[in-house]
Structure 1
């Protein structure tokens, strides 16, 4: 019954994880280049 909401939550979580990972990589590169 809550499959749709679970799918939406998973998509949001994956998006958040992706954004966080990219942010960490960018910050790491900036710090590394300093």
Structure 2
């Protein structure tokens, strides 16, 4: 993935469910923080 991440991705491999939760939290923080 070459897209810049709003926060460092976890070093450990993520399953689909874990990644979904991480992505949802990331997006929520971006929306809540405005600029992230």
Is the TM-score greater than 0.5? yes
TM-score of Structure 1 vs Structure 2, range by shorter chain: 0.5 to 0.7
TM-score normalised to structure 2 length: 0.55
The answer to whether 1:24 aligns with 2:14 is: no
Q: Following TM superposition, where does structure 1 have runs of at least 4 consecutive aligned residues deviating by more than 2 angstroms?
A: none
Select the structure of larger CA radius of gyration: 1
User: For structure 2, which runs of at least 5 residues remain unmatched after alignment?
Assistant: 1-13
Choose between structure 1 and 2: higher helix proportion: 1
Cα RMSD (Å): 2.0
User: For structure 1, which runs of at least 5 residues remain unmatched after alignment?
Assistant: 1-7
